[in-house]
Amino acid sequence: MPDYARPQTLTEALRLLAGGEARLLAGGTDLYPGAGARLAGPVIDLATVAGLAGVQSGPGLRIGAATTWTMLAEASLPPALRALQQAAKQVGGRQVQNTGTIGGNICNASPAADGVPPLLALGAKVELASTSGTRRLALMDFLRGPRRTALGQGEVLTAILIPDSGLQGRSAFVKLGARSHLVISIVMVAARLVVRAGRVTEAAVAVGSCAPVAVRLPAVEAALRDAPVSEVADRIRAEDVTAALAPIDDVRATAAYRREAAVELVRRAVAEAVA
């Protein structure tokens, strides 16, 4: 494989990738930091691969892996994706949002990836393609740990798939950091709630930056079911939140603080989702 390739089709990209070890370049916002004057090869640039960017509906929703944050933020999407759109506006600055992609964010597998909690709350799957075919995996299973994913050799993450069930209800995203822009979160929460006749029928809540990978909160979700909308925040028990978390002490905050803050942010996120 050449040192640098700009395939026009997915088939071509996969063929190149099958030919040897190469780095996949999407937005470049995670690969370039730390590189020298240029990115060391071999590199397969996905920028011109047809069909990788954009959002398509029915059934469910298909978000192309190369869809940028700006495209997501400015797209007309159902209220269930509001959390994702809120997150899109808080990834880096406008410059990063204009080039950074949702697929790159997932594959970079940072515990603080802004796109992940909203996608977990949507029950997202990822679509992985290789020369031997395509497979689908729950996002939850795709993310294996900090900087680790289930992406196999020769595979490209091509799309994020939201099932119809994930498109129900409304969502909200809250991100906590020590400054207002350009901040890696201390804790972030995405919550999606489906409400019928004033009661929660379904809840999906995910927390980021508090474990090796972002996590869903099953106990919280169970506690929210059947809750009247006016009481969603009151249904959040601290132990239901913290049971799912494994935060660490780092330069941004202590683990103990993260637990506390996560509880508070979950309350705020669910309240905002039904507001």
Closest CB to another protein among 44 and 211?
44
Encoded tokens for 227? 């809750």
**Residues 209 and 188 sit within 8 Å (Cβ to Cβ):** yes
108: contact with another protein by CB under 8 A: no
Contacts of 27-36 spanning 24+ positions with Cβ under 8 A: 27/66, 27/68, 27/96, 27/99, 27/100, 27/101, 27/104, 28/99, 29/92, 29/96, 29/99, 29/100, 29/104, 30/100, 30/104, 30/105, 30/108, 30/110
Which residues from 129-188 bind another protein, rule CB under 8 A? Answer: 176, 178-184, 186
Closest approach of another protein to the CB of residue 68, in Å: 10
**Residues 171 and 273 sit within 8 Å (Cβ to Cβ):** yes
Which residues from 219-258 bind another protein, rule CB under 8 A? Answer: 251-254, 256-257
Mask of contacts with another protein, 59-88, x by CB under 8 A?
Answer: -----------x------------------
93: contact with another protein by CB under 8 A: yes
Can you tell me which of 13, 29, 85, 209 binds another protein, judged by CB under 8 A? Answer: 29
- d(C-alpha 261, C-alpha 145), whole Å: 22
Closest CB to another protein among 43 and 140?
43
Could you give the residue ranges of the DSSP H alpha helices within 143-231? 218-224
Closest approach of another protein to the CB of residue 169, in Å: 25
214 contacts: CB under 8 Å, gap ≥ 6: 111, 113, 116, 117, 120, 143, 206, 207, 208
Can you tell me which of 79, 92, 212, 228 binds another protein, judged by CB under 8 A? Answer: 92
47: contact with another protein by CB under 8 A: yes
Q: What residues line the site for another protein (CB under 8 A)?
A: 3-4, 6, 25, 27-29, 32-41, 43, 45, 47, 70, 89, 92-99, 176, 178-184, 186, 251-254, 256-257, 260-261, 264-265
